[in-house]
Structure 1
């Protein structure tokens, strides 16, 4: 979800060309053999905003099957056979510290981000924000002793996650994804994770498989119901009888600009539903044909 912040001119993210990564280890590269995950889960808004962002998210996908799993969440009750190896608070310093510790201890890492975001920002508690520059600085060789972090993939649910894509690649990630603008479809994570963990489905094909009509319909229905429940909205023009904010009437634009999107993010001539789809598109960069089962071929300059 897009964290509400004071309005300021937006710095448009530059979408990088796909990073070319060669999978052939050399004398200068190392190939960690232990797998680890780190999952950040932190939302702090109203019940509906939180519901939209974490609907049906199964965090067992971030735990099961890894040699070590780190979950940063206020509390957690496992619904699977395993619990996270490490459970800590979703703190900014803890997130960076645990990421570095996994890298220094010889793991290759999958990173999962479930949090509010904005352009070049991931939000934590106490109004703390992580920026791409801070991330790159925190994991620099001067501070970690590592040339790059052995990150296999990064899945970002955070809105505007695409603005972090290039930074993740630059610090060592093989592939990463993040939404264009506001992510209206957090429930697509489960399908992505199931496809990814199947072993032979590529990162990009797992993302494509998760973008189903049924997953979109669920969240579109929630948006429509929430808008309809506002009987006398003061900051947007309510739809007339027979129309909804998912349609192409003026009320759709009025609603989404009041609640979710900036004016320059709205696609004129498109419906509310189509704007949700456009906004939520997952940009994926790096070695997007990577599969979970070919991790043995990966190496990093550590």
Structure 2
């Protein structure tokens, strides 16, 4: 089993400690509203979760879900121990099944679409194993020690630093799993073309002269191939994305100034202001004028 952590996730460390030969852990069932990360410093550690009796060796880690009941199924030795960290993820980490090349498109997860507008979800994620023995365990244990020390002796932005270190831990863990399983993670050549096309769109989306012929000239690829590559990685067409970028800018201009609607249409690349208004209403549900008035009223109420 695996979990995915997106760039859109917020992670917040709630608690962390190190346990050594803790009999109370063995005797007491645990459950809490946070994700629980357990990494063994000295094994074996006997952990039970969802009816599964696990024997964890030194350096092994396991990731437990919120409210997942867990505890020990056998007393550990006096020298055995583990780091135990609880963190909140918002939105929650997504659970996926066993990894196969058919079920998980790693290249797409790692590359991401990198779209500017919030309408189209991005796909870049970390793939986190539920249970794993990493080869870089000592480096990971040092990071957990830093988190525990920072929480025990808080100074300044200690909560913020703890979450940043946890993010580093999760990235190193995910990266180690990829290398261990020899996963092919280099983006295909088509993705490099996609990034060049995306840069061109971000620079010239307001340019009415940016058409198929101009894209072909700028990128030295035919328009059919460019359209296919963009849809493959972005999930939307080039035209849909250009319109989304233009409307995003139009909303900013409507909120922040008093330019006439016709002028905003021209600035954002729409030669026909009536077409701009129809497209804006289809996207936002209200006309450009109504949008401006609504945000002007909100600003006046706040003032």
Task: Using structure 1 for the length normalisation, give the TM-score.
Answer: 0.24
Which of structures 1 and 2 has the larger relative contact order (alpha carbons within 8 angstroms, sep 6+)?
1
Higher helix share: 2
Which one has a bigger Cα radius of gyration?
A: 2
So what's the TM-score if we normalise by structure 2? Answer: 0.24
